[in-house]
Structure formats: C-alpha cells, structure tokens
C-alpha cells in the first residue's frame, strides 16, 4: 500500500510493541485497517511507557508524514492516543 504524505486517517486502532532495532516502546496500527502494520505511529512517550507492551489504543486522527531521512511514519493528532 502506498501512503500519501499529508493524508489523514481517522480512528485507527493500534498497539504498543518493543522495537527490536531501537529497544524503544513504539506504537503501530493493528491489521485490517488499510494501513501497513510495520509503520510507526508517533505519539507521546509517557503514554507508550506507562502501559505494558501489547496494550491496544485508538488514535482519533493520524497524518502521514516523512522524516528528513526519508522514513514515512504516522503522527497522532496532538501526539495523543487513547487506551481501549
């Protein structure tokens, strides 16, 4: 699936996981929502770290963004996600 930079997606269900490359707790979309499950959702670190790995969340609004190094990621509105 090709994501378009600047596009928005609403009410995305996601989960926290431990990134094997960095050792950090990250958040990714759950399957069957029209988004790749390997993309990271940028959100507040405090929210990610105060819940155990595998906790499911909802992001009300996410935007497709691109880092200067070329990596594409999703950014949660106001960096907020909500536990399900």
- Separation of alpha carbons 74 and 69, rounded Å: 15
Residue 44 included in any domain = yes
Residue 1 included in any domain = no
Question: Looking at residue 56, what is its pLDDT?
Answer: 98
Residue pLDDT tens, the chain, 84 long: 689 999 999 999 999 999 998 999 999 999 999 999 999 999 999 999 999 999 999 999 999 999 999 899 999 999 999 999
Number of domains in the chain: 1
Domain extent, residue 76, equals 8-83
Helix (H/G/I), strand (E/B), else coil: 78: helix
Residue 65 included in any domain = yes
Is pTM beyond 0.85? Reply is yes
Mode of pairing for the β-strands spanning 72-76 and 56-66: antiparallel
Check: CB of residue 28 under 8 Å from CB of residue 17.
yes
């Amino acid at each position: 699936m090709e994501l378009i930079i600047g596009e928005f997606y609403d009410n995305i269900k996601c989960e926290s996981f431990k990134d094997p490359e960095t050792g950090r707790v990250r958040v990714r979309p759950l399957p069957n929502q029209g988004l790749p499950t390997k993309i990271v959702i940028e959100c507040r670190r405090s929210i990610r770290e105060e819940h155990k790995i595998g906790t499911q969340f909802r992001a009300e609004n996410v935007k497709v963004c691109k880092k200067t190094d070329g990596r594409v990621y999703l950014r949660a509105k106001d960096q907020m996600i909500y536990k399900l």
